[in-house]
């Protein structure tokens, strides 16, 4: 089952277990801890925690959820940030793995985490986020569970400043905003095109037999026009041959998907986990009549590590295309051209830019 980043109130999550950012004494505190005690029923939760008595840093214990929508509360004790030299990273990761294993032991199929230790315990949010994602990702490669990580804003997401800047620049260069037709703007473009042609004539440059409404190539545009022109997509990877395209001309999405899985020597389990996908959803893809959502189709292309040309071909089998007027699609294209097929990192970027996530 998939991993999803969401903005929500953890006490409202309808899951099998929610995780409380607890203290070693298992007493009611502030922040997430206080909210969980209050929503569950202070007296009941205090009595249950008092009967347990103590929990070591890096460990977790479980109680009923009482008044919460969740069946259980898993109390995980995160480390206090002391500069990074007191084994904080290992202890924080242990909070997540201990909680996940405890949820597995109690038959939970879904669990929601806060960003442990990132509040009054002072753990840097970006580092806390990265540790959380790593621990959850490793667990999900071997187990089936729906995992949610509750975050409250882009500042929590560990998308490095340099990567964020590169993605932002890529969006600025490739994203084509969908504006309604504007007669005045069209007239201005027409006047500017005529001015360009007159300037070329004055300098004795060779004229091209272009249609009246065609824009000249970007190199001839004024700066204002060239800035708004969408550059050609960057070529990436080996394109499919004409023979290959013709041979699989009538191939459905489902047939192409499972052929690619076989050709790449991957297993179904490996693919749906790398696609951040539920096993039950993946099983539906074997039906020729089933048409996946665009997000699912892209997630599968990422899992198969397809290049841009192959990705477009696979999407086309389901009736979709990557669009320069979609920020989400531009971000996907960026990661594919960079050869980065880690769906969790891609989802971090999509989340940071307020776009719909892949797979989940």
* Structure-model confidence comparison of residues 173 and 93, the more confident one: 93
Cα–Cα distance, 62 to 39 (Å, whole number): 16
Q: What is the pLDDT of residues 228-283, one digit of tens each?
A: 434 444 444 556 555 555 555 578 899 999 999 999 999 999 999 999 998 888 99
Share of the chain above pLDDT 90, in %: 57
Q: Is 328 helix (H, G, I), strand (E, B) or coil?
A: helix
- Per residue in 28-61, pLDDT tens? 988 889 999 999 999 999 999 999 999 999 999 9
Q: Cβ atoms within 10 A of the Cβ of 42, count?
A: 14
Distance from chain centroid for Cα 63: 32
Q: Where are the domains of the chain?
A: 3-158, 183-228, 242-352
State yes or no: pLDDT of 217 exceeds 90.
no
Residue 225 above 70 pLDDT? no
Task: Tell me what the pLDDT averaged over the chain comes to.
Answer: 82
Structure tokens at 257: 């998907």
> Is pLDDT of 214 > 80?
no
pLDDT digits (tens, 9 = 90+) for 120-178: 999 998 899 989 999 999 999 899 999 999 987 555 565 666 777 888 888 888 887 65
Top pLDDT among 71 and 9 is at 71
Please name the residue that has the structure tokens 């037999």.
209
State residue 29's pLDDT score. Answer: 86
Residue 21 in this model has a pLDDT that exceeds 60: yes
What's the pLDDT score for residue 216? Answer: 32
The whole-angstrom distance between residue 220's C-alpha and the CA centroid of its chain comes to: 39
Q: Strand, coil or helix: what is 61?
A: strand
How confident is the model at residue 158, as a pLDDT? 55
The label of the residue with tokens 């919460």 reads 68
pLDDT higher than threshold 60 for residue 186: no
pLDDT per position as a tens digit, 312-322: 999 999 999 99
Q: By the 8 A CB rule, do 305 and 280 touch?
A: no
Write the DSSP assignment of 80-96 as a string of letters: PPSSS-SSHHHHHHHHH
Provide mean pLDDT across the span 86-111. Answer: 97
292, with CB counted inside 10 A (0-12, 13-18, 19+), is: buried
CATH class of domain segment(s) 3-158: alpha beta
245-266 burial string, b = 16+ CB within 10 Å, else e?
eeeeeeeebbebbeebbeeeee
- pLDDT, position 101: 97
> Is residue 199 scored above 70 in pLDDT?
no
* 116: number of Cβ within 10 Å: 27
Backbone angles phi, psi at 19, to 5 degrees: -105, 130
Backbone φ and ψ of 20, nearest 5° = -100, 130
What pLDDT sits at residue 230?
40
Helix (H) or strand (E) segment spanning residue 261: helix 253-263
* Helix, strand, or coil (residue 4): strand
Average pLDDT of span 58-80: 97
Q: Select from 164, 40, 149, 38 the least CA-distant residue to 95.
A: 149
Structure tokens at 303: 């899992």
**What is the reported pLDDT for 155?**
53
């Amino acid at each position: 089952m998939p991993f999803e980043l969401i903005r929500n109130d953890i006490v409202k999550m309808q899951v099998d277990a929610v995780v409380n950012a607890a203290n070693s004494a298992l007493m009611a505190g502030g922040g997430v801890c206080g909210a969980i005690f209050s929503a569950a029923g202070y007296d009941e939760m205090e009595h249950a925690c008092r009967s347990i008595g103590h929990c070591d840093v890096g460990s977790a214990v479980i109680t009923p959820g009482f008044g919460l929508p969740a069946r259980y509360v898993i109390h995980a004790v995160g480390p206090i940030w002391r500069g990074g030299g007191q084994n904080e990273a290992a202890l924080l990761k242990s909070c997540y793995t201990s909680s996940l294993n405890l949820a597995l032991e109690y038959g939970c199929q879904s669990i929601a985490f806060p960003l442990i230790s990132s509040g009054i315990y002072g753990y840097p949010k970006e580092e806390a986020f990265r540790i959380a994602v790593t621990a959850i990702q490793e667990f999900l490669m071997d187990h089936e569970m729906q995992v949610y990580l509750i975050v409250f804003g882009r500042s929590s997401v560990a998308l490095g400043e340099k990567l964020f800047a590169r993605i932002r620049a890529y969006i600025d260069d490739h994203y084509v905003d969908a504006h309604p037709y504007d007669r005045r703007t069209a007239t201005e473009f027409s006047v500017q095109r005529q001015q360009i042609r007159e300037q070329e004539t004055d300098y004795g440059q060779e004229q091209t037999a272009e249609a009246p409404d065609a824009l000249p190539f970007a190199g001839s545009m004024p700066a204002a026009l060239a800035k708004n022109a969408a550059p050609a997509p960057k070529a990436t990877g080996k394109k499919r041959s004409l023979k290959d395209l013709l041979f699989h001309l009538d191939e459905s999405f489902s047939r192409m998907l499972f052929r690619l899985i076989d050709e790449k020597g991957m297993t179904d389990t490996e693919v749906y986990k790398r696609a951040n996908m539920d096993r039950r959803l993946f099983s539906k893809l074997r039906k020729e009549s089933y048409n996946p959502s665009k997000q699912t189709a892209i997630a599968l292309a990422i899992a198969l590590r397809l290049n841009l040309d192959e990705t477009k071909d696979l999407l086309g089998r389901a009736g979709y295309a990557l669009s320069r007027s979609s920020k989400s699609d531009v971000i996907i294209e960026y990661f594919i051209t960079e050869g980065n097929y880690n769906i969790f990192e891609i989802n971090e970027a999509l989340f940071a830019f307020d776009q719909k996530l892949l797979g989940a």
